[in-house]
Amino acid sequence: MRDAELFDSKISKIDGAGDLGSHILNLVKEKKVESPSTSQQGRSTTTNETESTESSVREAPAPKQSGEAS
């Protein structure tokens, strides 16, 4: 919300911007925010911007021993 307010205050000073800032501010005010407990259900966890889910974890193939055919 504060970012939208700052954007509105900055963009309103630019000629030709019209009501862009107030339009963005109204969109942010109308946006429904989910509670943290509902927003986390069914989503994968992210750590250091790397997505990890149990279904996407794959093990590396075992190295072939000498004498095995390809």
Asked if 21 and 3 count as a contact pair (C-beta separation under 8 A), the reply is: no
Q: pTM of the full predicted structure?
A: 0.43
Asked if 44 and 53 count as a contact pair (C-beta separation under 8 A), the reply is: yes
**Domain total in the chain:** 1
The pLDDT of residue 39 is 55
Domain annotation covers residue 22: yes
Domain annotation covers residue 17: yes
Integer Cα distance of 47 and 43 in angstroms: 13
Task: Return per-residue pLDDT of the chain as tens, 70 residues.
Answer: 899 999 999 998 899 888 999 999 999 999 888 888 755 555 555 555 555 555 555 666 666 776 656 5
Domain annotation covers residue 58: no
The pLDDT of residue 5 is 92
Domain annotation covers residue 9: yes
